[in-house]
Structure 1
Amino acid sequence: MNIPRGTARFSLSSISSHPRHAKRLQAGLSALLIAATATLALLAPGVARAAPPAELKLDYAYYSPESLVIKRNGWLEQELAPQHTEVKWVLSLGSNRALEYLNSGAIDIGSTAGLAAVLAKANGNPIRAVYVFSRPEWTALVVRKDSPIKTLADLKGKKIAATKGTDPFLFTLRALHTAGISRDDVEIVNLQHPDGRTALANGQVDAWAGLDPHMAAAQIDDGAKLLYRNVDFNTWGLLDAREDFIRDHPETLAQVLKVYEKARLWIAAHPDETAKIISEESKLSLPVARLQLSRNDFSHPQPGTQQLAALKAAAPILTQEQLVKPGTDLNQIIDALIDAKTAQPVIAANSGQ
């Protein structure tokens, strides 16, 4: 090819021989590579995604109405059928069991109380709270209908049934502190929630840190009395997921949250049907289920500032009772626990935002 005289000649070698030109070329090639990579990602969006899990393991609990509704209606199985993910349901009788299952990998997603989750995470449980299934008043201190105990101060020297590592246990410690009573001033008998109710009815303990629906059953069927109530000492009902599951299966987690949102909205529209499901699953009477349901607020599914504030206000009891290692920064633990981002798109979609 003939090039007219006076026309500049350009070649890669001539450009690269000049430092300024070389930098421009390098920058241009880098930009081109980034654009090409992004284009390939758009053209083949599935390349970077992990395969759906062959099995999803999660809990259901009598204190989590959404989990009972979802399980009964088979909604999660329907949602995950196209990707051939099998759903395995595991019963959690309390936060302590759910947290044990999460820590061991027996489940990927579990239902717990907020402060119990803080305690577990502070002790190394690899979880994050991705959803709020309820703002409950699910625990109180309960005594028999003929009990001479009238105030918290009367509990000094008495036996109290409570499930260690759960909201009722931590509720009990906080309640006692308000009356100037320490854990050493009482005898806490570690029993699972239904066994605590039985021990109270049989006179084996003087009081019980109740949990619904068993607490509602004790009131209605046994005539038990609520000695001390404090809704602010009931920490939020959280749906916790293992950090490795959040990282490896974000699409499946989003599907789970979508189904939880479906159940939350369904419960608001169908309280009678929800109470019936709770009654049948927990094998307790319909009046008991209705009382339990009436003590739940399902209007705040998004984890965020409310949960952070409530848990940071509650956390000092963990240090005071030496339930965490000295020097543990509980505020940092709580900040790491509450995941305000994962559920946001799902909740926004359901609210029409």
Structure 2
Amino acid sequence: MKRRHFLELASASATAALLPTFAHAATPLKELRLDYAYYSPSSLVLRRFGWLEDEFKADGTNIKWVLSAGSNRALEYLNANSIDIGSSAGLAALLAKANGNPIRTPYIFSRPEWTALLVRKDSPIRNLADLKGKKVAATKGTDPYLFLLRALKTAGLKRSDIEHVSLQHADGRAALEQGKVDAWAGLDPHMAASELESNSRLIYRNVAFNTYGFLNVREEFLSSRPTEVARVIRAYEKARLWIISNPSEAAKILSEEAKVTLPVALLQIKLRSDFSQPLPTNEHIQALQTAAPILKEEGLVKPGTDLKAVIHALIDTRFSQPLISRG
């Protein structure tokens, strides 16, 4: 135990050394607030096994879990100081950051293919061009919504060419299957469930339009509590490696938590989630730089916003370097 404690302190010290302007907390943290989400299997594994509760037990720190139904909710909670750490899609995090949400991203929880455009099995819609004039559901401020905008552009369409219906992910699925909308920009596991259980059809897929899963931290919390953030990231690393070694067991946890069938969970975990790249790098910066123009074109950020600067202010490529497992 003494050796383990020494290694933990050494790792935290190495992290803090990378960020010399960060202050060290003088007192134990009373409560650590973070989200869990069905689109973030690592968060479900952490919550199920109580690894964070174990990690912070000696400090007397209470772990508070808050369910995020989508990136928009996670980012709202962060902006309102309701949670300290929250998970979202990368482009959604950039949109929030550009509009004043004080967050940074020191960790990538997955690279998913978690969104696509779906229609009902009997729909006459066959391609993106057919969406003109149609009702399309998507959760505003999330990756599926931004995916929809980018997808429309590839077909020469604009947002005004469709009737956008803003619904949370689960409600979007219901609206599609009930015939209340013509198409839906879905999110796993709801998207996978609609495919497997209702035979909904994917009319447009593009892995490159699915931005990464970002673990975001409030800037104030990161600056005042770097050691605690490092401990959370180490726990996420434990969950990531466990999922890689136990994908079927991870799918069972997702199935139980999200109340979806095991085949749906297996589709999300095994075929649509890549857990191999947890460290933010230039790859993630470049992915956002490629996606960023849609935010200006659709008027989602203020005119004159320097999105390149916002991206570099959002993605922290240094903090997690000493914390990432190397094989």
- TM-score scaled to structure 2, two decimals? 0.92
CA distance in 2, matches of 1:308, 1:49: 30
Contact conserved, 2:40 with 2:109, CA < 8 A, in 1?
yes
Aligned residue number for residue 309 of structure 2: 332
Larger radius of gyration: 1
1:291 corresponds to 2:267: yes
Q: Compared with structure 1, are the counterparts of its residues 324 and 83 closer, same or farther at alpha carbon in structure 2 (3 Å cutoff)?
A: same
Aligned residue number for residue 280 of structure 2: 303
CA distance in 2, matches of 1:339, 1:85: 26
Q: How many correspondences in the alignment? A: 304
CA distance in 2, matches of 1:307, 1:48: 29
Secondary structure at the counterpart of residue 253 of structure 1: helix
RCO higher in 1 or 2 (8 Å CA, sep ≥ 6)?
Answer: 2
Percent of aligned pairs sharing the same letter: 64
Query: Per-residue displacement from partner, 1:173-201 (whole Å, max 9, x unpaired)?
Result: 00000001000010110000000000000
Question: Which letter maps to 2:70?
Answer: G
Alignment of 1:225-264 (within 5 A): 225-264=201-240
Secondary structure at the counterpart of residue 311 of structure 1: helix
Question: Which letter maps to 1:268?
Answer: I
Offset, 1:52: 2.6
* Alignment partner of 1:69 out of 45, 55, 71: 45
Unaligned stretches of 5+ residues in structure 1: 1-46
Aligned residue number for residue 345 of structure 1: 322
Q: Compared with structure 1, are the counterparts of its residues 268 and 48 closer, same or farther at alpha carbon in structure 2 (3 Å cutoff)?
A: closer
Alignment of 1:160-179 (within 5 A): 160-179=136-155
1:151 corresponds to 2:127: yes
Contact conserved, 2:24 with 2:224, CA < 8 A, in 1?
no
Extract structure 1 runs of 4+ deviating beyond 4 A: none
CA distance in 1, matches of 2:194, 2:155: 25
Q: Compared with structure 1, are the counterparts of its residues 299 and 50 closer, same or farther at alpha carbon in structure 2 (3 Å cutoff)?
A: same
Query: Per-residue displacement from partner, 1:52-88 (whole Å, max 9, x unpaired)?
Result: 3100000000000000000000000001111111000
Unaligned stretches of 5+ residues in structure 2: 1-22
Contact conserved, 1:50 with 1:248, CA < 8 A, in 2?
no
Aligned residue number for residue 9 of structure 2: none
CA distance in 1, matches of 2:196, 2:176: 14
Contact conserved, 1:50 with 1:249, CA < 8 A, in 2?
no
Contact conserved, 1:144 with 1:207, CA < 8 A, in 2?
yes
Offset, 1:49: 3.8
CA distance in 1, matches of 2:24, 2:300: 42
Q: Compared with structure 1, are the counterparts of its residues 48 and 274 closer, same or farther at alpha carbon in structure 2 (3 Å cutoff)?
A: closer
Q: Which moved more, 1:49-58 or 1:302-311?
A: 49-58
1:218 corresponds to 2:186: no
Query: Per-residue displacement from partner, 1:215-254 (whole Å, max 9, x unpaired)?
Result: 0000000000101000000000000000000011111101
